[in-house]
Amino acid sequence: MRKYAAILAVLILSACKHPLAIEGEGDIVDANGSGYGCTLEQFQAADTACSENEVAGDYTASYQAQPRDGWRFVRWDGYCGPASVEPACAMDVAGESVTFWDSLYPDIAMPATTAVFEPEGALALYRDQVAEVDQYLRDIEFSGSVLLGIGDDTLLARGYGLADRERGHTNKHDTRFFILSVTKTFTAASIIMLEERQLLSTDDLLCDYLEECPADWQAMTLHQLLTHTAGLPNYLDSAWDSDDYGLLWTLEATEPEVLETLYEMPLEFLPGTDRAYSNSGYFLLGKVIEAVSGTSYSQFLQDNIFGPLGMEDTGIEPSSRSNFASGYHANSLVPKLSSTTMKSSGGIYSTVIDLQLFERAMQTDVLLSDSAREKFLMTHVDVPCSGNCTRGQAYGWNRENWSGIDILWKDGWNPGWSSMLISSFQDEHPSVIVLQNTTGGAPYVVPVALDIGRMLSGFDPRN
């Protein structure tokens, strides 16, 4: 029996390399359980290794259609049956499953069978706009993952392009990316969290939390670090000017070496007298978090943000490189980011799914009280803004009014990866999360995110 099952499996797989497909937002998963049949990936890749499983009786491969949030399963499309004799396929629409089997006849050919999903709830209202966004991303050959949400509803969560060009792995809704400077929103939230616990104050002096502190840093406050008004130069500027990205890509660099680099760089202006974007301030805020909490920056985030919110694919140093997007700059593969040098200024990796959990948490008191969230997200420093907008600097976020809609956003960029998160923190307006693994010639993440926002609800500072 096993001999015939193996022959059947080989012929089925060779007869139709892509027997299953998906239309809409959903997944097709192996419904047999461990050790029975093939996974969808094995089936589509014509991998015959799964035919060696111990299967009692007939060869069986069973799959179940599972809709994602905001979608519902509708039907299976496509002919499901034998090329000549004896049924080889059964559809159970009520159970959203499809099963292929036969033990007597190896001449089975199965045309493509598609699990069809349709939107429901808020997604149904935005169906045309979401379709426009999806087509736009395909037209510009976008490479990355995108999530669109409104309130608690997910309008779109999808990957585009390749996560790994060498292996041919595609980006998916749960592919992990470096989020770069979007990391600063987590660092700022951590500082406010510690302030709410009365373990520090944003009015505290930075030097109170450092073992060594240069003389010209003595007047710096945590508030100035949070708002880019401390006068610190950007410690990564020299790395970007280097052909090999210098310190940015030096995985052997230690934190003392990074600090020594900072100590030797002169201030750009006296603390509190001007504003200039600086990664340095947020790197130092990570040191403050460690000094106050008594644990590492990454562990503090895990214990106080990632863990409580269920952000299972988010962290600083991944234990595994599986399901991780490689970064490409000007079509060349770039090294992975250094968690030591980037850390609290830009070292977090995440997924669009996990970032939505954080974005939604900022509308509740699950992490911060109402008063703490108000301080976290309010404008602290006015910033010039051209076009149809007004801009202010919040803690870790840019706060703006675009076309009459209040928006908070943060972007990030380094060779190989870019990111942007846009949220009104209001249920009536969509949020946009864009993670990209191509830079240098590829469409830049900021105009891409703005185009998506315009298609969804009309907010666009360029009008």
Burial 22-50 (b: 16+ CB within 10 A, else e): eebbbbbebbbeeebbbbbebbbebeeeb
Q: pLDDT band at residue 1, thresholds of 50, 70 and 90?
A: very low
Residue 80: the pLDDT is: 58
For residue range 172-186, what is the model confidence (pLDDT) as tens digits? 999 999 999 999 999
Q: Is the pLDDT of residue 94 over 70?
A: no
Amino acid sitting at position 423: S
For residue range 15-52, what is the model confidence (pLDDT) as tens digits? 333 457 788 888 887 665 433 444 445 544 544 444 44
Q: pLDDT band at residue 74, thresholds of 50, 70 and 90?
A: confident
Residues 6+ apart with CB under 8 A from 173: 68, 145, 147, 157, 158, 159, 351, 352, 353
d(Cα 327, Cα 350) in Å, to the nearest integer? 14
Residue 76: the pLDDT is: 80
Q: Are 405 and 168 in contact (CB under 8 A)?
A: no
Structure tokens that stand for 328 in this block: 């490409």
Q: Return the CA Rg of the chain.
A: 25
In the chain, what are the domains? 2-119 (no CATH), 135-457 (3.40.710.10)
Provide the CB-side half-sphere exposure for 75 (13 A, CA). 4
248 closest CA partner among 359, 462, 413: 413
Amino acid sitting at position 381: V
For residue range 249-300, what is the model confidence (pLDDT) as tens digits? 445 678 888 888 889 889 999 999 999 999 999 999 999 999 999 999 999 9
- Maximum average pLDDT range among 114-123, 243-252, 323-332: 323-332
